[in-house]
Structure 1
Amino acid sequence: MKFDHDPNSKLGLPFFSASFTRRQMCLTGLAAMTASALPAASMPDSKKITLAFFADIHGQLEEHPEMYWSSGKDEIVPAGGVARIAQQLKEIRAENPDGTITLDLGDTIQGSGHVVMSEGETMIGPINALKLDCWLPGNWEVIYGKKVLLETAAKLKAPAIAANMRDATTRERLFKPYVIHQAHGLKIALIGFTDPDVPLRQPPSFSEGIVYEETGILQPLVDEASEEGKADLVVLLTHIGLPKAVSLAESLKGVDVILSADTHERTEKPIIRGNTWVVEAGAFGSHLGKLELFVENGRLSRREWTLIELRAGQIAEDAEVKALVQKSLAPYRESLGRVIGSTSRPLFRYAPVETSADAVLADALLAAGGTEIALSNGFRFAYPIDTGDITENDLWNYYPINSRLKTGKVTGTQLLKFFERELENVFSKNTKRLFGGWVPRPAGLTFRFYANRAEGKRIVDMRVNGHPVEADRAYTITSCEREGDALTTLCRMRDVADVTLLEVDAHEAVRRYLKEQSPIMMGQPLRVVPLDISATVRSQFLL
């Protein structure tokens, strides 16, 4: 499809509002002529397709605290929940009953206590109640193994689409690579592509039996959907992160829209590359993305993007879906509601560099391991913990994988190389080198760095317990075990010496720490400090 735009505008953005095409601007002088006054032959054949989607809900079924900053200030308010998503989808469908397509872009059955304890079963009924058109498996959908993934897909009423997941033995695709959805007489190709780095990003045992293909498979599929499928619009559903989705928009031909997921980004405005729009709609069920595509006389004439904040008080909840959620969660209320600590300041993630919540987790590991340094993984998931009680539910949200702890010894040189690589994974200008989540969160170790420098030249002034790191000295370290990793690997750091697997796990370490240290008073940790970007930047893409 073709779309008028100004190729010289910054980031490929149109030089006009997303609501007006160049042709419409030229016709403003004819505003007095109503549509009814036009000859029948000149009446436009106008059709609207609405794409409504969410992603990275991470097992969050009900209303929860959420941090919003769209107004220019941070505020934590009640928001989200599948019942609120259901109500909003109902209203969107009512606006365009024959032209609305509803989608889930993955990371749905991981990220909370109840969903881990039920291996995703608690999500099935509520997600089915949303009456989605299709869904894309995310990088965490393999958490319970291939067998459970396929069983989950069979229980969900919406079909799964993923072009690049194959059975390791038969080499057959696990799911359809795309579907052709018909609406308003138009054919819309929905192509799915999930993260090919899953076997490296997640504990290796999770994706055993699955082979992932790279982006090279996409252009032939786009061409096939357009030519053999005779698609009028091509929509690519991706779970690879916003920077990589934008890179695909720069290289693929014939794609009208890329819906992005994985990085939990909130794109207030669409990112435009050539004729392709890229959008991402946050996480935890706190947002819903709505992209409207207007086709006139077979031509994509304009598009409108809305990132909807699902705030309590502004968006109602669907009563039937809310009751379904309550029923699904009932068996877990007592155990997950148990209070294990308290905090006098809000604890949250939402930053690629460092966060108050992760500093608490790293401190808990440090205390449990009795070492000089501890590392907590740079996870993205979990909504904020507001001031007051901290519960088992909060613990599972922040640590949905409960692993035993490991201790070992690493040299100063190893520490420097490890963090240089992790910073490259987060801030590389080459999207092919971006990998995983955010910067691992340290305790006992500090450093400053330049996000915009090359790998190997970013870090300055690395210290352990206030003393400059010595290249050849061995430092003791604590981190979590990853199922399937070699004993000598800690938090993706390889070749660690004198490794010991402890009896205590990450959850118990946090419980013990909270019992001793509550109320928590953690603010900005100031352990990993960027020198060329804001310390509180909330995106690894829009720096």
Structure 2
Amino acid sequence: MQQNTTPAPTLTRRKMCGTTLAALASASFSRAGTPSAEKKITLAFFADIHGQLEEHPEMYWAGGRDEIVTAGGVARIAKLMREIRAANPEGTITLDLGDTIQGSGHVAMSEGVTMVDPINALKLDYWLPGNWEVIFGKKVLLDISKKLTAPAVVANMRDENTQQRLFKPYVIHNAAGLKVALIGFTDQDVPMRQPPSFSKGIHYEETDILQPLVDEARKESRADLVVLMTHIGLPKAIALAETLKGVDVILSADTHERTEEAVIRGSTWVVEAGAFGSHLGKLEIFVQDGRITRRDWKLIELRASRYKEDAAVKELVEKSLAPYRDNLNRVIGSTQSPLFRYAPVETPADAVLADALRAAGGTEIALSNGFRFAYPIPVGNITENDLWNYYPINSRLKTGKVSGTQLQQFFERELENVFSKNTKRLFGGWVPRTSGLTFNFHAGRPEGRRIIDMRINGQPVQADRLYTLTSCEREGDLESTVCRMRDVMDVQVLDVDAHQAVRRYLKEHSPVTMGQPGRIVSLDISPAVRSQFIN
């Protein structure tokens, strides 16, 4: 059911490369002079489902308008995947590209177990662990991997002590009479990007391991097609397409990008399929006489009005979630405007969260991490389930004092992490969200020259003055680190966590109303840009 249709600015995202590609080469002919039959490989995949098993509100944007409709859910994915397999039974490969066991309340409370049966019901061929798969530690990741029927494929995760790979680096999948190599690669920055304790015992390798694996798949395993499954974000996936040789397709995940059109670099196609189970990606590759003749990419919006659910899988989801219903359905507040998290700079939902932290800490400013996960909250009640979706890691709050110079340097670095033209410097999620602190910036400028007019509570920031700050504690960080900001003075860990802070704030301020916050404003990209991929 459609809800809360609101106008959006005209510019929605940077237009990507063309959807069609001329045949890469003319087909070679047999000695008899007739070409062999064309073969079709279908890659059907989703990524970044973040613990979302049911249909839910989702925001789609097109034609200058945002709309929130009911969409997604594992039962809907199951039915469509079954139809895709039926259309190409010998040539379909189904995949999950990671960030599966994190991002919701029931997943946190069960340490991933609630996802196992519903994901297994999809009968996937393979899955790739994402950056958040380590949230419950190495042991839980390995235990969940054993329970999932689809084998995990990832080349760059090793046991820190033995240096043995945790999973297969690649597989050769026989489909439609072709050998398809599927190579997995996940975010190598996990030990820095997530709280360090999460990935203890795991060593992550860099991208230099990939070209030898591609060559091995081509030469030793005689692969007809090479597909690289990645969980490193779209800009970095595109950079790999520009440097690796012999890769036909790069399936991207992590940045939740919706590539309505394939990004093409040479003979390599790069595609990403959104998040939260709200989209399914389908890439068809046609091969004749050893050559790719054509490809077709579709980013499918899983709207409830267009696609039905599988009844058996829906029942399985209900069974998995039943023990958590009463707790997660509890109402904790309300909103008079849609709250969402679909922009790299600032969002209405994050403004509410940052305000809640600031109120709990009693400080001049507060920072909330630039997370990407969580579908929108429409006008109406806010539940415990919504809180867990936006804050799936509940940690105690930290306060401390930082100088104006520290704040300037911190945000210059964070902006570089998000908008750097050098893909090797891109890191983490989106820009940290603020309360009490505002500034304008130029995304296109280099680090150190982006920010102008930084203010705290309306007053220009003074370089040497100390300002009080509230943010969340990250397990494993130094005591003097607050929200990745180092060398914070007079640090205190409060006897209140992020969830308690938000509940208290909503109890006092509901119904909340939050339009475009206007706290961190880019002077060279539109607030309507929903993508990190702007260069």
**TM-score greater than 0.5 by the shorter chain:** yes
Q: CA deviation at 1:298?
A: 1.3
3-state DSSP of counterpart to 2:131:
coil
Structure 1 stretches of 4+ with a deviation exceeding 3 A read: 11-14
Partner of 2:400, secondary structure, is: strand
Structure 2 distance, partners of 1:22, 1:241, is: 26
- Is 1:162 the equivalent of 2:138? no
Deviations 1:122-164, CA, capped at 9 Å, x for gaps: 0000000000000000000000000000000000000001100
Please, what TM-score do these two structures have when normalized by structure 1? 0.94
Matched, 1:339 2:331: yes
Q: Give the secondary structure class of the aligned counterpart of 1:504.
A: strand
Q: Is the 8 A contact 1:12 1:274 kept in 2?
A: no
Q: Give the one of 116, 126, 130 matched to 2:108.
A: 116
Pairwise mapping of residues 290-301 of structure 1 onto structure 2 (< 5 A)?
A: 290-301=282-293
**Which residue pairs with 1:247 in the alignment?**
239
Identity of aligned residues (%): 76
Q: 1:72 deviation in Å?
A: 3.3
Determine the structure 1 residue equivalent to 2:57: 65
The question of whether the paired residues in 2 share the 8 Å contact of 1:375 and 1:479 is answered with yes
Q: Distance in 1 between matches of 2:309 and 2:367?
A: 39
| Code of the aligned partner of 2:47 | A
Q: Does 1:282 align with 2:274?
A: yes
In 1: Cα distance, 2:523 partner to 2:17 partner = 30
State the one-letter code of the partner of 1:408: G
Query: 3-state SS of the aligned residue for 1:91?
Result: helix
Query: Any residues of structure 2 matched to 1:223-262 within 5 Å, and which?
Result: 223-262=215-254
* Aligned counterparts, 1:99-178, within 5 A: 99-178=91-170
Report if the CA contact (8 A) 2:24-2:292 is conserved: no
Q: How many residues align?
A: 519
1:93 & 1:153 partners in 2: Cα distance? 24
Higher alpha-carbon deviation: 122-131 or 527-536 = 527-536
Residue 87 of structure 1 aligns to which amino acid in structure 2?
K
Secondary structure of 2:161's aligned partner: coil
Map 1:6-85 onto structure 2 (within 5 A): 18=20, 21=23, 41-85=33-77
Contact kept, 8 Å, 1:112 with 1:396, in 2: the verdict is yes
Q: What is the Cα deviation at residue 396 of structure 1?
A: 0.1
Task: Give the whole-Å Cα distance in 2 for the aligned partners of 1:466 and 1:43.
Answer: 72
RMSD: 1.6
Which amino acid in 2 is paired with 1:297? Answer: D
Q: Which residue of 1 aligns with 2:415?
A: 423
Give the one of 370, 378, 382 matched to 1:386. Answer: 378
The superposition leaves residues 68-103 of structure 1 with CA deviations (integer Å, 9 ceiling, x where unpaired) of 013431000000000000011011001101100000
Q: CA deviation at 1:45?
A: 2.0
Report the alpha carbon displacement of residue 184 of structure 1 after superposing the two structures with TM: 1.3
Task: Return the letter of the residue paired with 1:518.
Answer: S
Number of the residue aligned with 2:437 = 445
> Compared with structure 1, are the counterparts of its residues 207 and 22 closer, same or farther at alpha carbon in structure 2 (3 Å cutoff)?
closer
Asked whether 1:500 is paired with 2:492, we answer: yes
Q: CA deviation at 1:21?
A: 2.7
Asked whether the 8 Å contact 2:25–2:291 carries over to 1, the reply is no
Deviation at 1:313, TM superposition (A): 1.4
Distance change in 2, residues 1:121/1:209 (3 Å):
same
Matched, 1:264 2:244: no
Shift of residue 41 of structure 1? 4.8
Distance in 2 of aligned mates of 1:13 and 1:71: 18
Residue 297 of structure 1 and its aligned partner are, at CA, apart by 1.3
Q: Which residue of 2 aligns with 1:357?
A: 349
Q: Give 5+ residue unaligned stretches, structure 2.
A: 1-14
2:479 — aligned with what?
Answer: 487
Separation in 1, partners of 2:482, 2:35: 66
- Note closer, same or farther for the CA distance 1:493–1:12 as it changes in structure 2 (3 Å cut): closer
Counterpart code for 1:307? L
What is the Cα deviation at residue 171 of structure 1? Answer: 0.2
Q: Shift of residue 386 of structure 1?
A: 0.3
Q: Secondary structure at the match of 2:373?
A: coil
Partner Cα separation in structure 2 for residue 210 and residue 341 of structure 1: 40
Q: TM-score, normalized by length of structure 2?
A: 0.95
